[in-house]
Chains A and B, each alone.
Chain A
Amino acid sequence: MSLWVDKFRPKTLDDLHYHQSLSIRLKSLAASADFPHMLFYGPSGAGKKTRISCTLRQLFGSGVEKLKIDQRVFISPSKRKLEINVVQSNFHIEITPSEAGNYDRVVIQDLLKEIAQTQQVDLNAKHRFKVVVINEADSLSRDAQAALRRTMEKYMSNMRIILCANSTSKLIAPIKSRCLLMRVAAPNPEEMQIVLEHVAKKLKFDLPEEASQQIAEDSGGNMRKALLVFEALKMQSPDLSGSLTIAKPDWEIYCHKVADLIVQEQSPARVLEVRAKLYELLAHCIPPTIILKTVAERVVERVDEAMKADVMHWAAFYETRMRLGNKKIYHLEAWVVKVMSLYKHFMYNFDMADFE
């Protein structure tokens, strides 16, 4: 039995519940003979992938659903072997080049050229070109992006590229200017409720208004998360009535604990305690950026208005350093110490002012 997220994933553009104007646009593009390169961007869980697969179906018919998974081996210039998983049908191929890390350029060069230079052999195919879907395009290295540039223009007759990214900031301008940009915004709570009700109807049970509202708000625009939470809740209490407590993930609770520790006391001993907790989080593979953001947001909730801006400033500052640096814990810790000292200073000055 598959998860609801997969089970009720819309298959065609008509099934999509929100962003109708986008669906219409995609449909008309798929119908016209010249389909451009595309770049889908938007926050996670907004439905980028779903829209891509729907568009592919619209383009080529149900043939795109016959998928096979291949493992391809590429050889880097330094003779290292790279193994990349490739999902493909007769009409399209889906790759995540960031799997190859620094060598993503090799994957892009080899694979795209190979596809670009072979023509569609199936005479019944609706279109002459194949589609290459590149996931996580924003984590492509500069070299890989540069490698895409000419390929995108030169082999337009045999191939179209669909890029899927969270943000366009990390894509170089020449790539952006060669693509048709498709912004997929996160659904608003009402739209999410419609989707949740649709799922409930398909499964033939009633979804109370409050429950759907609560789920929609809690998930913060992430449809995937909303559906997962919905399924989990349904498992816990089959009737979905009364007061629901949406269980927060463990790591989030843990992050909040860390934030509370920082606000409660500022001392070297406390730093050590926080450090242990941060290590614990890192050991469980929680991305350091998410840790920092969650903790910072929680800290900000609990400190004085005048300090909030500073806390966020240092969070942004150390987050950047973390990207540049190597050892994540240093920067997390540095931020903790910084916030503690800020807090202490702030309290101290405040007290003094009070005495005078």
Chain B
Amino acid sequence: MAFFQAKSTSATSKHSVDPAHQPWVEKYRPKTIDDVSAQEHTIAVLRKTLVSTNLPHMLFYGPPGTGKTSTILALARQLFGPDNFRNRVLELNASDERGISIVREKIKSFARQTPRAQAVASDGNVYPCPPYKIIILDEADSMTQDAQGALRRIMETYARITRFCLVCNYVTRIIEPLASRCSKFRFTPLDSTSTSSRLSHIASAEHIDVSPEVISTLIETSGGDLRRSITYLQSASRLSSSTNPPVPITPHDIQEIAGVVPTAVINDFAKTLGVSVVEDMDVDDLPTNWKLKGFNAVQKKVKGIMREGYSASQTLSQLHDTIILHPTLPARQKAKCALAFAEADKALCDGADEELWVLEVGLRIHKAVTTS
């Protein structure tokens, strides 16, 4: 496979890390843009720029783990080759100070440098090495408005010798003048086929056994985030290989690693709230059960869940799936529940108390379901 050949000429020699101890996310980061999973449209456009070696300013946006950083790094590597990479590419991310002063000094001074002459590639390959530099601003949505404002003029003035690539999750956090100077590329969450092919590729490269169920659980828990599923896979394989003798990875392991609340707990909670769960269809005796206890039952259940240490947002999102996808619940009740979930999510984002809000959601669902 092309991937393997690329790896043997690996350019990761900068850090002398034993590849066995590297996170797989780094180890299997695509080396060329053809290796990038999915995102066909973006890749097709970028491949053309490789041929013409002309690059616009770019803005990559999309949810985490869809390959934004990987794409730009791979593209830069293909354009410049490992030897020129160092002095032609400036990568800044949120772990670097990126206030307005840095934009004015560091970025500006790098942007105004005339690119140095191309060094002869040591590995014998020929790289296009166009006469400009690339500045990658990773996680650009965490830059302040002022810092972004300061970039505006810099981008235009030095456009001849410097290209910018902004990478962010939320395109709305990038100020309009910056966004309009860039050609935008949207990265979509990965579909399950490309995720699964990538995962099985890594699994076979690492010589671990994964069953199709495990792969499907990985895809389910990660929701289109390839990095997350790779990390989970690595953690699971660590756990399974460190026990003696090595045990195969089970879907349950993946769920535990992903911090997913077990389905049984959610179903139990839903039942307490008066929502019949699909497994048992005899709804008849349920109402008497909860009506006896009502509020106290819900409160006790919530306390139990909190004691088990499950995270509120995870619990709520799973409960949400249970209720919204419920086969028999009337739409009106579902709508009421959805409202409760939305409000709780906002409150949790604002940092409100978890127990209170899980309880609140529980009570509202209880009310919505019982008073129809």
Known: A146-B94, A148-B95, A150-B93. A185 touches B363 (CB 8 A): no
Cβ-based interface call for B335 (8 A): no
Q: B235–A156 contact, CB under 8 A?
A: no
Q: Which residue numbers of B lie inside 8 Å of A, CB to CB?
A: 15-17, 20-23, 25-26, 64-65, 93-97, 99, 101, 138-139, 142, 222, 225, 227-228, 231, 234-235, 238-239, 241-243, 256-259, 294-295, 299, 303, 306-314, 347-348, 350-357, 359-360, 363-364, 366-367
Contact with B347, one of A24, A46, A305, A320 (Cβ below 8 angstroms): A320
Q: B347–A149 contact, CB under 8 A?
A: no
Q: Which residue numbers of A lie inside 8 Å of B, CB to CB?
A: 24-25, 28-29, 31-34, 36, 41-43, 46, 77, 109, 112-113, 142-143, 146-151, 153-154, 156-157, 167-170, 173-174, 176-178, 180-181, 183-186, 220-221, 289, 293, 296, 300, 305, 308-309, 312-313, 315-317, 319-320, 323-324
Q: A109–B238 contact, CB under 8 A?
A: no
Contact with B238, one of A29, A183, A316 (Cβ below 8 angstroms): A29
Q: A33–B257 contact, CB under 8 A?
A: no
Q: A313–B139 contact, CB under 8 A?
A: no
Q: Give me the 9 closest cross-chain CB pairs, A-B, nearest first.
A: A28-B242, A42-B309, A177-B228, A146-B94, A316-B360, A320-B352, A168-B311, A169-B313, A308-B295
Whole-angstrom distance between the alpha carbons of A185 and B310 in the complex?
A: 8
Q: A156–B22 contact, CB under 8 A?
A: yes
Chain A: CB-nearest residue to B64 = A174
Chain A contacts for B234, CB-based, 8 A: 36
Q: A149–B257 contact, CB under 8 A?
A: no
Q: A25–B239 contact, CB under 8 A?
A: yes
Please give the distance in Å from B227's CB to the nearest CB on chain A.
Answer: 6
Chain A contacts for B303, CB-based, 8 A: 220
Please give the distance in Å from A159's CB to the nearest CB on chain B.
Answer: 12
Chain B contacts for A183, CB-based, 8 A: 256, 259, 308-310
Given contacts A36-B23, A293-B355, A319-B352, 11 further A-B contacts (CB under 8 A): A29-B239, A36-B238, A41-B309, A77-B99, A113-B95, A177-B222, A186-B308, A221-B307, A293-B353, A309-B295, A312-B360
Chain A: CB-nearest residue to B102 = A77
Known: A142-B142, A181-B258, A309-B366. A316 touches B347 (CB 8 A): yes
Please give the distance in Å from B12's CB to the nearest CB on chain A.
Answer: 11
Contact with B363, one of A24, A32, A109, A309 (Cβ below 8 angstroms): A309
Q: A177–B360 contact, CB under 8 A?
A: no
Whole-angstrom distance between the alpha carbons of A147 and B97 in the complex?
A: 9
Q: A323–B352 contact, CB under 8 A?
A: yes
Whole-angstrom distance between the alpha carbons of A262 and B2 in the complex?
A: 73
Contact with A147, one of B95, B235, B360 (Cβ below 8 angstroms): B95
Whole-angstrom distance between the alpha carbons of A28 and B240 in the complex?
A: 9
Q: A109–B97 contact, CB under 8 A?
A: yes
Q: A32–B306 contact, CB under 8 A?
A: no
Please give the distance in Å from A305's CB to the nearest CB on chain B.
Answer: 6
Whole-angstrom distance between the alpha carbons of A70 and B337 in the complex?
A: 51
Chain A contacts for B355, CB-based, 8 A: 293
Chain B contacts for A320, CB-based, 8 A: 347, 350, 352, 357
Please give the distance in Å from B349's CB to the nearest CB on chain A.
Answer: 9
Contact with B65, one of A177, A221, A289 (Cβ below 8 angstroms): A177
Q: A109–B26 contact, CB under 8 A?
A: no
Known: A32-B238, A36-B234. A167 touches B20 (CB 8 A): no
Q: A305–B21 contact, CB under 8 A?
A: no
List 27 interface pairs A-B (beta carbons < 8 Å), by A numbering.
A24-B243, A29-B238, A34-B238, A77-B99, A150-B95, A150-B138, A156-B22, A156-B26, A157-B16, A169-B313, A169-B354, A174-B64, A176-B259, A177-B64, A177-B228, A180-B257, A184-B309, A186-B307, A293-B355, A293-B356, A300-B295, A316-B347, A319-B356, A320-B350, A320-B352, A320-B357, A323-B350
Chain B contacts for A150, CB-based, 8 A: 93-95, 138-139
Contact with B294, one of A41, A156, A305 (Cβ below 8 angstroms): A305
Whole-angstrom distance between the alpha carbons of A330 and B309 in the complex?
A: 31
Whole-angstrom distance between the alpha carbons of A226 and B313 in the complex?
A: 28
Whole-angstrom distance between the alpha carbons of A309 and B299 in the complex?
A: 10
Chain A contacts for B228, CB-based, 8 A: 173, 177
